[in-house]
Amino acid sequence: MNVHHLELFYYVALHGGIMPAVRSIPYGIQQPAVSAQVAQLEDALGVTLFQRRPFALTAEGERLFKFIQPFFGNLERVVNDLQGGQVRYFRIGGSAIILRDHLPTLLPTVRKKFPGLKIAVREGFQAQLVDMLSNDEVDLVVTTIDRQPPASLNSVVLLELPMVLLVEKSSTLKSADELWRRDKIDEPLVALPPHEAITRTFQTKLEELGLEWFTAVEASSVDFIEAYVAGGLGIGVSVRIPGKALSQDVRALPLKGFPPVLIGALWQGRQGAVRLSVVNAFVDLAKTRARQLTTR
């Protein structure tokens, strides 16, 4: 018998169905996987554990749930007791610029509040980070977020960054409108990958304006966009980052009428109370850091 299958059945029985269980299981798992693995448990036992529609435990399901409930129901409390009521390991995901320029400012305070806390960081693009969070590979991410984040995740907006075009300092362009008035934009566009929020927002607005301007040079970070523009590889689409000055070889042209890019924190709501206390502490510090950046 697979103990993981027993755990999934515990959540199904506790929450009254497979979909409610999926929303409450404290790690990322999809409905088909839960259905298949609970069915495997029933096959192994040779009994039906619950009726699907409407949901109801069978007599055998009631007996099994009564047997396993004390173990799974008290597991988090025992883990917290063994750890002295403290989280020992916390995983944070973010873009390179977040991990490099902002996380070092926040982590000392987090570790002071939670002594002995070990921290692991994971770098990635927005889509990668959301997948990591859904798959329980990280506890919290700070990244670009959509205006309607996944319903399964908790979120908070930290910053709204205005979009800009980056041009060489020697460029004769005075505004983005000069480009929009052309029949065709010949300069190469330097941008993040197409699935990134900055690029998606930019291309959506271009489409509304009836314009076509596709990426010619794909960069892996906004720092590289700036470097490529300075090196004469094209015009870059980026965001104005509070407290970060551009290199002397680059100018920024505001993108009037383009919506700002949102930077925020995302985390699973289905975490234990002790781990959520670390999440909440980190989010509070991130909010303070964001306020400091915007008031400089």
Would you list the domain boundaries of the chain? 3-82, 89-158+263-294, 163-259
Do 107 and 119 meet the contact criterion of CB atoms below 8 Å apart? yes
Q: How far is CA 226 from the centre of its chain?
A: 24
Q: Which amino acid is at 23?
A: R
Q: Which helix (H) or strand (E) holds 252?
A: strand 250-254
If DSSP codes are grouped into helix, strand and coil, which group holds residue 60? helix
pLDDT value at position 277?
84
pLDDT value at position 29?
80
pLDDT value at position 234?
97
CA dihedral 190, 183, 186, 144 (to 10 degrees): 0
CA–CA dist 189, 198 (Å, integer): 13
Do 124 and 266 meet the contact criterion of CB atoms below 8 Å apart? no
Which CATH number describes the domain made up of 3-82? 1.10.10.10
CA–CA dist 288, 290 (Å, integer): 5
Tokens of 64: 């099994």
Tokens of 163: 């979009």
Q: Which helix (H) or strand (E) holds 57?
A: strand 56-57
Average pLDDT, the chain: 88
Low-confidence ranges of the chain (pLDDT < 50): none
Tokens of 111: 């570790």
Report which of 53, 56, 195 is spatially closest to residue 125, judged by C-alpha positions: 195
Regarding pTM above 0.95, the answer is no
Angle of helix 3-15 relative to helix 31-45, nearest 10 degrees, comes to 110
pLDDT value at position 152?
77
pLDDT value at position 87?
59
Give all strands (DSSP E) within 152-233, no chain letters. 153-161, 163-168, 189-191, 215-218
CATH 3.40.190.10 for domain 89-158+263-294: yes
Evaluate whether 89-158+263-294 and 163-259 have a shared fold: yes
Tokens of 98: 């977040």
Do 180 and 211 meet the contact criterion of CB atoms below 8 Å apart? yes
Q: Which amino acid is at 70?
A: P
Q: How far is CA 254 from the centre of its chain?
A: 27
- The backbone torsions φ and ψ at residue 191, rounded to the nearest 5 degrees and listed phi first, read -150, 165
Place of tokens 């889509």: 127
pLDDT value at position 60?
95
If DSSP codes are grouped into helix, strand and coil, which group holds residue 45? helix
Task: Kindly report the number of other CB atoms within 10 A of residue 120's CB atom.
Answer: 12
- The backbone torsions φ and ψ at residue 233, rounded to the nearest 5 degrees and listed phi first, read -85, -5
If DSSP codes are grouped into helix, strand and coil, which group holds residue 115? coil
Which CATH number describes the domain made up of 163-259? 3.40.190.10
Neighbour-count burial of 99, counting CB atoms closer than 10 A to its CB (0-12 exposed, 13-18 middle, 19+ buried): middle
pLDDT value at position 15?
87
